[in-house]
């Protein structure tokens, strides 16, 4: 297959990390391919895998030769080889004994493979029993439960049956790609079309990226400025178990559906309503805890992605300081207007420059730039934005796949803002956000406050495969390829580690779960030679130490911060508990506790997290409801008083 050979060549030769195809890599590709096919180890069993050991060492040769019989054989035998289809149907057709004291563990990624079909069927018995008990506790009669379960397993079988040679090829090539790094992948023609839709943001929907986990659709990402983001009703890690159209449409159970089929249900025309049945992240493994949310579909509007600013008064010790706050959701630029030669074209840098002028005229004592959940954007904008706060100098180093290093600099000596500065970051600040925050920190120009960032320090290029085979009439898909790596002016990579804040606020999401370091094959952190730069020394270490001491005091006395810490602990406990009881009375107690926990956390979220991160004007009222922003402005006021003294 020409496409396979081409993709293999691109991955092997043009990736930032040069990869040798050998027997060692072959075994890893096989392991990843099985994981992609059977993440929770519910289909294959040990004898089938042992019979396949002879083919493992040939995966590298298959890729070189363009031979894909082995992966195709594995994908087509998944359902029949498991011996589970008949047992599922039999199990779903009878009642269960809920007085037996046993449990179901939803997390089987690290569990051993089943040793026999009998052991595999026992796994399925508990899996089905768990779903049946969840429906029973949700008030469903047995006849409805049996039908729902039967439909789910038919959907699972249909999903497997719908797998095409294109799906198999994509899964196989990505098993290779995922062993290189998590941002390199092959997209089939259909997946490539969806990727372009997501990148252009032209399709109307809810503004969320979805993925499939354990037969459930999980929210992988929320687009800043989109309907889901604005609603504050859904977040990363929540699961979608049913979808309904309009205010009166019937909820359609989507457990076991292909992800593309679920996406089709959720997408729709602007202004229409979609209702989602959500299993909240806080519920952990308790699938019986659900809530229904209503979202109006819309396009991602440009104005929702633009920088915005306001003045927040902060009173401490009888003195009021005026703190300017600028929210920057992304790093953007209007290329068309820039090419026309317009000086005031829309861009992150131009907009922030204008906002700083407005805030300065209103009279501010200090400035906070809020980059929380800013996933990045244009590298040039990160460099230019840094230039507003330093006289001139290097901002970021970029090392290419051939080893050459390019230093991107701010060459404009004009300083737009020279006053006290703080930068807010969180776990989902990534890429260009990390470059900007890292530069401000390295130049000692401002205080960085918040959570450790995502740690994405790599550059990707999108390659249309039809460019390499121009005579091919059919669409061939595309490759997303990592081609370079970012380094701070100190020489430290932003990859893996991200940016560590000077003042570290409580974080809901750990690096082990969310972030580049959670990816098993992420490119490592490393260091190159520091480039020549002169720190401004605006922020001295003793000032940071004093501010951190003030923050530790606030953590003990501020009720909002204490509520955040309690919420984080409760959510972490729920997420870490993957086992649920299959004994009805014990499960009822577990469910009641989970319901109370979700209700309590939802109530706190309404009180505390409105405007986190703030989009639009961060009014004084919104600041009160956003404990992170409130603490940051409070620390800025403390910093201002220190400077005054």
As annotated, the active-site residues are 431, 442, 456
Decide if 542 contacts 63 (C-beta within 8 A): no
Output the CA–CA distances (angstroms, integers) from residue 133 to 289, 316, 585, 588, 591, in the order listed.
Answer: 12, 54, 11, 10, 11
Dihedral, CA of residue 19, residue 22, residue 27 and residue 30, to nearest 10: 70
3-state SS string for 81-111? HHCCHHHHHHHHCCCCCCCCCCEEECCCCCC
Q: What is the CA radius of gyration of the chain?
A: 26
Give dist(CA 58, CA 36) in Å, integer. Answer: 19
Q: Which residues contact 475 (CB under 8 A, 6 or more apart)?
A: 189, 192, 466
* Pairing of the two strands 366-370 and 319-327: parallel
Classify residue 443 by its DSSP letter: T
Instruction: Please tell me the distance from the alpha carbon of residue 41 to that of residue 114, in angstroms, as a whole number.
Output: 8
The helix/strand/coil state of 485 is: strand
Contacts of 585 (CB under 8 A, 6+ apart): none
Angle, vertex CA 424, rays to CA 421 and CA 426, nearest 5: 160
3-state secondary structure of 464: strand
- Alpha carbon 198 to its chain centroid, in Å, reads 14
Q: How far is CA 440 from CA 444, 445, 488, 528, 544, in A?
A: 6, 5, 10, 19, 14
Is 559:627 a contact under the CB 8 Å cutoff?
no
Q: What are 119's two structure tokens? A: 């052991």
Angle 67-71-73 from CA coordinates, rounded to 5°:
105
C-alpha separations of 244 from 216, 231, 271, 294 in Å = 16, 17, 15, 9
Q: Rounded distance, CA 626 to CA 609, Å?
A: 5
Residue 556 structure tokens? 């003990």
Kind of pairing between the strands at 216-222 and 208-213: antiparallel
Question: How wide is the angle at C-alpha 168 spanned by C-alphas 123 and 19, nearest 5°?
Answer: 105
Cα–Cα dist 455/494, whole Å = 6
Residue from 107, 118, 128 nearest 46 by CA: 118
């Amino acid at each position: 297959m020409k496409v396979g050979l081409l993709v293999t060549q691109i991955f092997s030769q043009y990736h930032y990390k040069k990869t040798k195809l050998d027997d060692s890599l072959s075994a890893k590709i096989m392991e990843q391919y099985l994981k992609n096919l059977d993440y929770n180890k519910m289909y294959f069993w040990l004898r089938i895998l042992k019979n396949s050991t002879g083919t493992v060492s040939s995966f590298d040769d298959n890729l070189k030769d363009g031979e894909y019989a082995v992966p195709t054989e594995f994908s087509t035998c998944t359902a029949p080889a498991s011996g589970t289809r008949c047992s599922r149907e039999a199990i779903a057709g009878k009642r269960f004994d809920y007085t037996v004291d046993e449990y179901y563990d939803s997390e089987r990624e690290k569990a051993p493979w089943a040793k026999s079909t009998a052991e595999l069927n026992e796994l399925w018995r508990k899996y089905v029993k768990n779903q049946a008990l969840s429906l029973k506790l949700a008030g469903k009669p047995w006849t409805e439960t049996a039908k729902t379960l039967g439909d789910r397993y038919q959907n699972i079988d249909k999903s497997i049956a719908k797998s095409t040679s294109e799906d198999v090829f994509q899964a196989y090539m990505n098993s290779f790609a995922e062993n290189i790094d998590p941002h390199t992948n092959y997209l089939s023609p259909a997946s490539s079309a969806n990727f372009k839709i997501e990148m252009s943001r032209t399709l109307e929907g809810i503004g969320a990226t979805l993925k499939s986990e354990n037969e459930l659709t999980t929210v992988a990402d929320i687009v800043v400025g989109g309907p889901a983001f604005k609603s504050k009703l859904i977040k990363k890690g929540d699961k979608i178990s049913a979808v309904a159209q309009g205010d009166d449409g019937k909820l359609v159970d989507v457990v076991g559906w292909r992800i593309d089929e679920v996406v089709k249900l959720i997408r729709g025309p602007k202004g229409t309503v979609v209702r989602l049945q959500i299993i909240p992240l806080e519920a952990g493994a308790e699938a019986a805890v659900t809530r229904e949310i209503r979202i109006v579909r819309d396009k991602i509007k440009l104005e929702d992605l633009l920088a915005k600013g306001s003045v927040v008064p902060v009173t401490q010790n009888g003195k009021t300081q005026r703190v300017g706050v600028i929210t920057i959701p992304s790093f953007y630029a209007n290329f068309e207007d820039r090419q026309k030669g317009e000086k005031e074209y829309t861009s992150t840098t131009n907009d922030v420059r204008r906002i700083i002028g407005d805030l300065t005229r209103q009279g501010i004592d200090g400035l906070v730039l809020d980059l929380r959940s800013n996933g990045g954007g244009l590298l040039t904008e990160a460099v230019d934005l840094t230039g507003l706060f330093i006289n001139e100098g290097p901002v970021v180093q970029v090392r290419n796949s051939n080893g050459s290093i390019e230093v991107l600099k701010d060459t404009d000596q004009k300083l737009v803002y020279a006053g006290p500065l703080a930068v807010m970051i969180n776990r989902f600040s990534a890429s260009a956000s990390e470059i900007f925050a890292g530069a401000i920190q390295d130049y000692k120009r401002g205080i960085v406050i918040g959570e450790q960032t995502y740690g994405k320090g790599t550059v990707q290029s999108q390659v249309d495969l039809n460019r390499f085979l121009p005579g091919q009439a059919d669409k061939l898909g595309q490759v997303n390829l990592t081609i370079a790596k970012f380094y701070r002016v100190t020489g430290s990579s932003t990859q893996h580690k991200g940016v560590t804040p000077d003042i570290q606020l409580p974080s809901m999401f750990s690096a082990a779960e969310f972030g580049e370091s959670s990816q098993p094959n992420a490119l490592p952190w490393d260091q190159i030679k520091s480039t020549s730069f002169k720190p401004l020394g605006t922020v001295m270490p003793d000032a940071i130490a004093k501010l951190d001491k003030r923050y530790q005091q606030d953590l003990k006395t501020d009720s909002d911060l204490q509520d955040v810490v309690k919420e984080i602990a409760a959510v972490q406990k729920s997420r870490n508990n993957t086992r649920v009881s299959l004994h009805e009375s014990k499960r009822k107690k577990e469910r009641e506790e989970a319901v109370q926990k979700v209700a309590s956390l939802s109530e706190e979220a309404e009180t505390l997290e409105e405007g986190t991160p703030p989009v639009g004007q961060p009014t004084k009222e919104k600041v009160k409801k956003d404990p992170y922003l409130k603490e940051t402005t409070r620390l800025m006021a403390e910093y201002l008083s220190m400077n005054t003294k």
